Amino acid sequence: MSHYYDKTPEVKSDEQVFTYHYQNHRLALTTDAGVFSKGKIDFGSDLLVRTFLKHHPVGKKKTILDVGCGYGPIGLMLAKVAPHDDVTLVDVNARALALTTKNIEANDISNASVKESDGLSEVEDDTYDFILTNPPIRAGKDVVHGILEGAKDKLKANGKLLVVIQKKQGMASAKKKMDAVFSNVEVLAKNKGYYILSSDKC
């Protein structure tokens, strides 16, 4: 059986396009079978975008990493809202990466780049001000916690990790893991069972 966290999903392509809005910003996003949240923005991803922009509004240039980007809604909206920021989107799913590249071009975004990476395996250390992730819960706890644990080395000093996760899908253990790794964790938002967790690299 094929999953959205597989490198090459073995499911027939069925592309769809939908529009994602944040305030006066608009993205036309192509999605497909074999990629997370086909056909519409996932509630948790949207909550992560809105929470991030509330706490970290457009200002000085930021370097941002979107881990497990899917077809790109989180990273591309952040790139659209703040065109002077530098956004990198990574995923292991080849179809997701192709869609993200397509969506970058379709929305005329010049400050985002795409890279294949299984979790954080291909990400350089001490590179990002912010790492955001809607982690692949169905890939298992080891994969999710691997991202949470590995993020610290990839952040610059004083960088931040922001994670969206449902209470019923491991929020408590993720929160505990982030606190263990970073020695701090904060709940920035919660809505409909989704939590936005944040840790600082002190």
Mean local confidence (pLDDT), 84-103: 96
Query: Hey, what domains does the chain have and what are their CATH numbers?
Result: 42-201 (3.40.50.150)
Q: Would the pLDDT of 199 be above 80? A: yes
Query: Angle at Cα 186 formed by Cα 202 and Cα 148, nearest 5°?
Result: 70
Could you report the per-residue pLDDT of 8-65, keeping only the tens digit for each? 666 788 899 999 999 999 999 999 988 887 778 999 999 999 999 999 988 899 999 9
- Look at residue 87 in the predicted model and tell me its pLDDT: 98
Could you report the per-residue pLDDT of 119-166, keeping only the tens digit for each? 999 999 999 999 999 999 988 999 999 999 999 999 999 999 999 999
Residues 6+ apart with CB under 8 A from 92: 5, 6, 7, 116, 117, 118, 119
Sort strands 86-91 and 63-67 into parallel, antiparallel or unpaired.
Answer: parallel
Q: Would the pLDDT of 1 be above 60? A: no
Mean local confidence (pLDDT), 180-185: 98
Question: How far from 187 is each of 35, 62, 131, CA to CA, in Å?
Answer: 28, 22, 16
Q: Would the pLDDT of 7 be above 80? A: no
